[in-house]
Amino acid sequence: MGKEFLIVSKEILPDYYDKVIEARNLLSEGKVKGVSEAVKMVGISRSTYYKYKDFVFTPSENSMGRKALISVMLAHKKGALSEVLNYISSVNGNILTINQNIPINDVASVIISMDISETTITIEEIIVALKKFDFVKSAKLVAME
């Protein structure tokens, strides 16, 4: 996972980290209609949720650090997705699923899940490298286990 992450017991962390994860789970499971409802249910502010939502994750007990879900916004350019997939393959990332939406305003949203257990570089380095492609408008880590 590299030097960007720490494994820390939640016993020493403020409880709002757990609540951010709980709110994100409520949203992803469709148990609430929006962020406002989720944060109200768990007892945190919207600003706390937005500040930490992309940085706090729970590890899976049996496969920690093996799977990653990334979101990439690609310019509507022939071969753009193919180049992204070739790059991930070149660093030994194994693509598990791809969900690409149709381009709107010449930008397509792509969600890629991949096995990163054998990658030659960290997921952070993969994200940084993807951002350097001229047709990649944004790239971010959505989740990791």
In which residue ranges of the chain is CATH 3.30.70.260 found?
Answer: 67-144
Q: What kind of architecture, by CATH, is found in domain 67-144?
A: 2-Layer Sandwich (3.30)
Q: Is pLDDT above 60 for 58?
A: yes
Interatomic CA distance for residues 31 and 19, integer angstroms: 15
Interatomic CA distance for residues 101 and 96, integer angstroms: 17
Q: Per residue in 88-139, pLDDT tens?
A: 999 999 999 999 999 999 999 999 999 998 899 989 999 999 999 999 999 9
Local structure of 52: helix, strand or coil: helix
Q: Is pLDDT above 80 for 65?
A: no
What pLDDT does residue 53 have?
A: 87
The Cβ of residue 40 has, within 10 Å, a number of other Cβ atoms equal to 14
What pLDDT does residue 1 have?
A: 45
